[in-house]
A and B are shown apart, each in its own frame.
Chain A
Amino acid sequence: MNGNGKLKIGMYWASSCGGCDISLLEIGDKILDLIQIADVAFWPCAADFKYQTVAGYPDGYMDICFFNGGVRNSEQEEVARLLRKKSKLLVAYGTCASDGGIPALANMNSVAEIFDAAYHSNPSIDNPNGIEPRPHVETAVGTLEIPTFYPAVLNLGQIVHADFAIPGCPPQAEDVWEAIGALVSGATPQHNGDRRIGCTSRSVCDECVREKKMTRIAAFRRHHMFRPEPGWCLLEQGAMCLGPATRGGCGALCPQAGMRCEGCYGPAPGATDQGSAMIGAIGGMLEATTEKRAQEMVDEIVDPPGTFYRFSMATGNLKVAQKH
């Protein structure tokens, strides 16, 4: 606390979609309560603070800084290090910051492939001279510099120490409010030893209202291929629901609406690698009794790494694909 005795909070977006900033506003009129006790010291999405302003703060000036998004380029890394220095508590906010999230799916492709898709081969691109962004460009007015593109998307914890992580894509407003309340009051939020807050210490299945009938999966079906029966476990119906491998806290919103869990809260407690946890979970659930049938059923699954690591590529075991 500095000056007027109010807390100083910050929020930054790195490689993210902006949904996390919006989700903080989802706490609704409680934002007024927050403003009563805290001043915004940095929040590019909502207020005009420059990096120089933050660099001018004394170390540890901000009491809590939420960092959303993964780290994809040198600018984001620089700001992550700067915010670590200027914040007492640095919180990885949302799945991109805590586990890599959707941007980290790009780790399955090489930088050359990403640039090719973004600047050349995509049908909607009009780039006759094949121009690609370069970190340094010589112009008549001097050298222009843009951030360098890194070979992989990393979660915040790979760059600097994050005190806590609030998973979710986006984190649910009530969980966020609860976590903020705990952080603001100075109490250590309940985190079950894994530094994750605003979530439960169980899996999504634990919160899901659908009934597990202990039947086996006859065939995998994607959600456009069938209408799920209400009240019955989606995984047992053949939807690749990541509930067993995913941390709870969302209230099983998607399964309740008939949509399989895509795993946005990251790996379930006790697991570090979400995909492995999912493979382990479905291992005993298939109807297959022969090796041939098992292989056939496994071959039906579309894009296993992209499905199992949809939100957690950066904290999986392998993290990046071997591509040249």
Chain B
Amino acid sequence: MDENEATFHSGGNGATPWQPRIIGFLCYWCSYTGADNAGTARMKYAPNVDVVKVMCSGRIDPDLIGKAFANGADGVLVLGCHIGDCHYISGNHKTMVRMPLVRRVLEGMGIEPERFRHEWVSAAEGEKFSRLVTEMTEQVRALGPLNWRERLHACGVGHGMDLAPWGEERP
């Protein structure tokens, strides 16, 4: 396990209790400023969301969300400007179509709907941001670790099953 992997891995190793690892994609113009607002106002919220700043929520490729889950995230939070507030006029209209679709794909793959959340946060809504982050952290904590990478590894992804007899017992 390289250093990168080690820091990204969310599963508890016994020594430290497991903490939810949530990736937050925040649009620069509203939601990131909203998060800034929460910080400047010294609001308290859970430290579990790793924020990725993007220029527009319409720029969030659904691929990134799948990659986040597949690489160890326990939850993904997507925040953008309210409809009508987009700095690029219609960027979040694309988000508004894509995110419900992403949610349906994730549900089809058996990922609990609580692990993926998509909300609108304006630059003034620091309070909403801190509330969302805390809510999200708690609902993901209640579900426990996702461990998708371990699941893929157990299915032989990347290495095959090495002819290890999978055994008489089916999971």
Instruction: Provide the bound-state CA to CA distance between A134 and B90, in Å.
Output: 56
The reply on A318 being an interface residue by CB < 8 A is yes
The reply on A316 being an interface residue by CB < 8 A is yes
By the criterion CB–CB under 8 Å, are B158 and A158 in contact? yes
Residues of A within 8 A of B (CB): 71, 74, 77-78, 80-81, 108, 110-112, 115, 134-136, 148-152, 154, 158-160, 271-273, 275-277, 279-280, 282-284, 286, 288-291, 294-295, 297-299, 301, 303-306, 308, 316-324
Instruction: Provide the bound-state CA to CA distance between A297 and B108, in Å.
Output: 17
Instruction: Provide the bound-state CA to CA distance between A25 and B123, in Å.
Output: 63
Identify B63's interface contact among A110, A276, A294, A324, CB under 8 A.
Answer: A276
In the assembled complex, which residues on chain B have CB atoms less than 8 Å from the CB atom of A323? 110
Type the 1/0 row for B124-167, where 1 means its CB is closer than 8 Å to any CB of A. 00000000000000000000001010011011111111010111
The reply on B50 being an interface residue by CB < 8 A is no
Most buried by B among A158, A160, A279: A279
By the criterion CB–CB under 8 Å, are B170 and A316 in contact? no
By the criterion CB–CB under 8 Å, are B165 and A317 in contact? no
By the criterion CB–CB under 8 Å, are B62 and A279 in contact? yes
The answer to whether A151 and B152 touch (CB under 8 A), given A275-B105, A298-B101, is no
CB nearest to B65 among chain A residues: A276
The reply on B171 being an interface residue by CB < 8 A is yes
| Total contacting residues, chain B, CB less than 8 A | 46
In the assembled complex, which residues on chain B have CB atoms less than 8 Å from the CB atom of A280? 61-63, 98
The reply on B116 being an interface residue by CB < 8 A is no
14 inter-chain pairs at a CB distance below 8 angstroms, sorted by A residue, are: A77-B161, A77-B163, A135-B167, A148-B165, A160-B160, A273-B62, A288-B93, A294-B97, A301-B101, A304-B101, A317-B70, A318-B69, A319-B157, A322-B148
The answer to whether A272 and B63 touch (CB under 8 A), given A154-B157, A304-B108, A318-B69, is yes
Instruction: Provide the bound-state CA to CA distance between A71 and B102, in Å.
Output: 28
Instruction: Provide the bound-state CA to CA distance between A171 and B98, in Å.
Output: 31
List 5 A-B pairs, minimum CB-CB distance, nearest first: A317-B66, A322-B110, A305-B108, A276-B63, A283-B94
In the assembled complex, which residues on chain B have CB atoms less than 8 Å from the CB atom of A324? 171
13 more CB-based (< 8 A) A-B contacts, given A275-B105, A283-B97: A71-B156, A136-B168, A151-B154, A151-B156, A158-B157, A273-B63, A301-B101, A304-B104, A305-B105, A317-B67, A318-B148, A321-B110, A322-B110
* Least CB distance, A58 to chain B, in whole angstroms: 22
* Least CB distance, B110 to chain A, in whole angstroms: 3
In the assembled complex, which residues on chain A have CB atoms less than 8 Å from the CB atom of B155? 150-152, 154, 319-320
Instruction: Provide the bound-state CA to CA distance between A71 and B109, in Å.
Output: 20
Instruction: Provide the bound-state CA to CA distance between A273 and B70, in Å.
Output: 12
By the criterion CB–CB under 8 Å, are B104 and A301 in contact? yes
Instruction: Provide the bound-state CA to CA distance between A158 and B165, in Å.
Output: 18
CB nearest to B94 among chain A residues: A283
* Least CB distance, A322 to chain B, in whole angstroms: 3
In the assembled complex, which residues on chain A have CB atoms less than 8 Å from the CB atom of B75? none
Instruction: Provide the bound-state CA to CA distance between A196 and B7, in Å.
Output: 34
The reply on B39 being an interface residue by CB < 8 A is no
CB nearest to B68 among chain A residues: A317
* Least CB distance, A159 to chain B, in whole angstroms: 4
The answer to whether A294 and B96 touch (CB under 8 A), given A74-B161, A304-B104, A319-B152, is yes
The reply on B100 being an interface residue by CB < 8 A is yes
